[in-house]
Amino acid sequence: MISGIYYTSYEQDMALRKTPAQRIRLAILILLLLSFPFFASRYYLTLANQIGIAVIGAIGLNILVGYTGQISLGQGAFMAVGAYTAGILTAHYGVPWWASIPVAALFTALVGTFFGLPSLRLKGLYLAIATLAAQVIILWIVTHWKAVTGGVEALVVPTPKLFGVKMNTDFNFYWVIWGTAVLITIMTVNLFRTHYGRAFVAIRDQDIAASVMGIDLFRYKLLAFAISSFVVGLAGALLAHYRTIVNWERFTMDVSVTYLAMIIIGGLGSVTGSYLGAAFMTLLPALITNLGRAMKASFPAIEGLIPFIQLAIFGLVIIIFLIFESEGLNKIWKDIKDYFRLWPFSY
Amino acid sequence: MQRGFSSQLNSSSLRPGELQLSVEHLQLNFGGVTALLGVDLQIRQGEIFAIIGPNGAGKTSLLNCISGLYHPQRGRILFYHNGEHDLTHLRPHQIARLGVARTFQNIELFRHMTVLDNLLAGAHIHMKSNLLASLIYWGMAQREQIQFRRFIEDIIELLEIQAIRNKVVATLPYGLQKRVELGRALALRPAILLLDEPMAGMNTEEKEDMARFILDVNEEYGVTIVLIEHDMGVVMDISDRVAVLNFGQKIAEGTPDEVRNNPLVIEAYLGEEHAALLSRPFSKS
């Protein structure tokens, strides 16, 4: 039994994982992540890959909404920019798939920064409406600029290959997706240990005080849009090469709202929350579908109702979270950890 | 008193007594309402300068002009720090970078951050590592964060807030929040510190503490302090000079004694029944 945690240097005090328990937990998580594809079935691998892409997208959105407090309804459109840029570069210009991903992310960052310009004058709901414009404009361009995007017809992307190996199988792309997710996680966590991250949170909490402390609101708001869109574009680009087909219907307003729900349910302003929210929102529909199939034998009428039940449960879950745990799954996870910290002597 | 802090809090390049901040004929209107009307002030390095006046006299508007939140229609604000700077048309973050730090009347802390993060955010302008280095958090970026963490610890010690350094600010009582806000302003290494009612809403003990911290910062580090305060006891006790605003105009300026005995001030600001109160002797401790 340890009596407490004692630091002897500022380096220890500022470390991310301070106790052996935290380090062991992280090690187990990494081991699980590394071994998962070797025993999981194809169905679960597909789910894991979907979660991985959602995690990247959710972290990206959380940087903007959760940490910097700039509400965005343009998530779907920014993912579309990433996906279409990567797809077009590879399909029309022969850029290797792995090179197209960072280029697409950079281009999305550029587009995101442009649509972030209204944030310099607008806040809260007004900004949300301005980003809604981004969603509508970008999707309109995607569906109408036939020569480049293929319009409403799907854009077919060549199968990604690495040294002659097909990469878009669930097993192979797992490593690409989760490798990127881990990299983005580390960088995001680091970002919020330095003055850049603190400036973002300062803008969210109290922007006037932030400007008086020497934080250039103009610069840091746009930077938040740029970094966020970069990560979101990355998620879109990965999706394009994973599916090898890019379709505008995957990037509608629904997607923006789903991602917002993800970070609200997971926990605003938290990387762990982005993981939990992404996993939750990906697994919940799958779970409902499976439950419906299992019940089909006894209740044949249920099959046609599944899509409606799914939507209803989605709405219900969000309402329940907003009422009972507005800080999201991350808070529940924290409470569980706090409970077991002194277990079995927690009183 | 020597405490042996390793950090220097004062960033002013001036010697004590030199002109540091000059407000000239400042005029500020909001639509048809005049908030400031031809205000002149000269603030010198190293002094504690109090601005008093009834509610709505324009005290906070004046501070907001100095820190760039409001832009006056007429007049100018000059600040001396490695040369002359015209603050009148600069934006708030540019003014902060020159070493002008402030606190707010209603606490404006970063509520969801810990005390440590609030103070570190106060030192924002001194952190130099670039975005890429910060994302990787290796070498220089990490060393820089640790270096500032050490610097922040000096402020924590000065303000005696060791016990709450890892607490989230929103969970702290009012008096401590005020103290953390002072700490955040100090983390900027101010050349001049603007305090907007640092003791509002405090009990006597908390006021004493706050007065002691303000005097510490002023006497040990030589930081110039501009103070808006309603507690006349405190103002008369700790300030070197006092300016009185009324309806956007400066009606008096001088040492606490001069201001206290100025008939204009007694009449216009304090009212006749309070004049008796002021005739009681004050002790400068």
Cis omega (within 30 of 0) on the bond before B72?
no
Predicted local distance difference test score (pLDDT) of residue A237: 96
Residue that has been written with the tokens 């999981």 in this structure: A40
Task: Identify the band that residue A297 occupies on the pLDDT scale cut at 50, 70 and 90.
Answer: confident
The span from the CA of A74 to the CA of A113, in Å, is 12
The span from the CA of B64 to the CA of B193, in Å, is 13
Q: What chain A residue is nearest to B117 in terms of C-alpha separation?
A: A198
End-to-end CA distance of chain B: 16
Q: Which of B69, B124, B146 sits opposite A10 (nearest CB)?
A: B146
Query: Is B99 domain-assigned?
Result: yes
Q: Taking 50 as the threshold, does the pLDDT of residue A328 lie above it?
A: yes
Q: Where are the beta strands (DSSP E) in chain A?
A: 155-156, 161-162, 165-166, 245-246
Per the CB < 8 Å rule, is A201 touching B129?
no
CA nearest neighbour of A158 among A145, A150, A149, A167: A167
Q: Taking 90 as the threshold, does the pLDDT of residue A321 lie above it?
A: no
In one letter, which amino acid is A200? Answer: F
Q: Give the domain range for residue A259.
A: 35-341
Query: Is A175 domain-assigned?
Result: yes
Interface of B with A in 214-243 (CB under 8 A): none
Assembly ipTM: 0.89
Average pLDDT over residues B70-84: 93
Distances from the Cα of A99 to the Cαs of A181, A184, A230, A237, A238, in angstroms?
17, 17, 15, 11, 11
Instruction: Please tell me the total number of residues recorded for chain B in this structure.
Output: 285
Task: Identify the band that residue A290 occupies on the pLDDT scale cut at 50, 70 and 90.
Answer: confident
Read off the pLDDT of residues B190-243 as tens digits, 9 standing for 90 and up: 999 999 999 988 999 999 999 999 999 999 889 999 999 988 889 999 999 999
In chain B, pLDDT over 70 holds for what percent of residues? 91
Predicted local distance difference test score (pLDDT) of residue B281: 52
B84-86 and B74-80 strand pairing: antiparallel
Question: How many domains in chain B?
Answer: 1
The span from the CA of A327 to the CA of B150, in Å, is 32
Query: Is B206 domain-assigned?
Result: yes
The span from the CA of B140 to the CA of B148, in Å, is 12
Q: Residue A74 region, left (φ>0) first, then alpha (ψ -120 to 50), else beta?
A: alpha
**Interface residue of B69, B137, B171 to substitute, partner A, most A CBs within 10 Å:** B137
Residues of chain A neighbouring B134 (CB-CB closer than 8 A): 190-191, 194-197
Q: What chain A residue is nearest to B130 in terms of C-alpha separation?
A: A196
Task: Identify the band that residue B1 occupies on the pLDDT scale cut at 50, 70 and 90.
Answer: very low
Residue A212 is part of a domain; what is its CATH number?
A: 1.10.3470
The span from the CA of B86 to the CA of B101, in Å, is 16
In one letter, which amino acid is A191? Answer: L
Q: What chain A residue is nearest to B94 in terms of C-alpha separation?
A: A214
Q: What chain A residue is nearest to B93 in terms of C-alpha separation?
A: A214
Average pLDDT over residues B25-46: 92
Per the CB < 8 Å rule, is B129 touching A194?
yes
Task: Identify the band that residue A183 occupies on the pLDDT scale cut at 50, 70 and 90.
Answer: very high
B141 and A CB contact within 8 Å: yes
The span from the CA of A91 to the CA of A104, in Å, is 13
How many of the other CB atoms lie within 10 Å of CB of A164?
Answer: 5
Question: Of A40-54, A160-174, A205-219, B123-137, which gets the smallest average pLDDT?
Answer: A160-174
Question: Of A107-111, B156-160, B258-262, which gets the smallest average pLDDT?
Answer: B258-262
Q: What chain B residue is nearest to A224 in terms of C-alpha separation?
A: B131
**Interface residue of B60, B116, B124 to substitute, partner A, most A CBs within 10 Å:** B124
Question: Of A119-123, A342-346, B29-33, which gets the smallest average pLDDT?
Answer: A342-346
The span from the CA of A88 to the CA of A74, in Å, is 21
Residue A219 in tokens: 């610069």
Query: Is A11 domain-assigned?
Result: no
Question: How many domains in chain A?
Answer: 1
Question: Of A215-219, A338-342, B121-125, which gets the smallest average pLDDT?
Answer: A338-342
Query: Is B90 domain-assigned?
Result: yes
Read off the pLDDT of residues A135-157 as tens digits, 9 standing for 90 and up: 999 999 999 988 888 888 888 88
Q: Taking 60 as the threshold, does the pLDDT of residue A340 lie above it?
A: yes
Torsion of CA A180, A182, A184, A188, to 10 degrees: 180
Query: Is A53 domain-assigned?
Result: yes
Q: Taking 60 as the threshold, does the pLDDT of residue B6 lie above it?
A: no
Predicted local distance difference test score (pLDDT) of residue B285: 41
Residue B254 is part of a domain; what is its CATH number?
A: 3.40.50.300
B58 and A CB contact within 8 Å: no
* Residues whose CB falls within 8 Å of the CB of residue B177, separated by 6 or more in sequence, listed in order: B107, B109, B169
Per the CB < 8 Å rule, is A205 touching B92?
no
Work out the angle at residue A171's Cα, subtended by the Cα atoms of residues A158 and A257, and round it to the nearest 5 degrees: 75
Per the CB < 8 Å rule, is B124 touching A213?
yes
End-to-end CA distance of chain A: 16
The span from the CA of B208 to the CA of B222, in Å, is 20
Q: Taking 60 as the threshold, does the pLDDT of residue A264 lie above it?
A: yes
Residues of chain B neighbouring A212 (CB-CB closer than 8 A): 67-69, 92-93, 95-96, 101-102
Torsion of CA A260, A264, A269, A273, to 10 degrees: -110
Per the CB < 8 Å rule, is A198 touching B120?
yes
Read off the pLDDT of residues B131-146 as tens digits, 9 standing for 90 and up: 988 888 888 888 899 9
Residues of chain B neighbouring A197 (CB-CB closer than 8 A): 134
Query: Is A278 domain-assigned?
Result: yes
B120 and A CB contact within 8 Å: yes
Q: What chain A residue is nearest to B102 in terms of C-alpha separation?
A: A212
In chain A, pLDDT over 90 holds for what percent of residues? 57
In one letter, which amino acid is A242? Answer: Y
User: How would DSSP label each residue in A270-316?
Assistant: -HHHHHHHHHHHHHHHHHHHHHHHHHTTT-TTHHHHHHHHHHHHHHH
CA nearest neighbour of B59 among B16, B111, B102, B18: B102
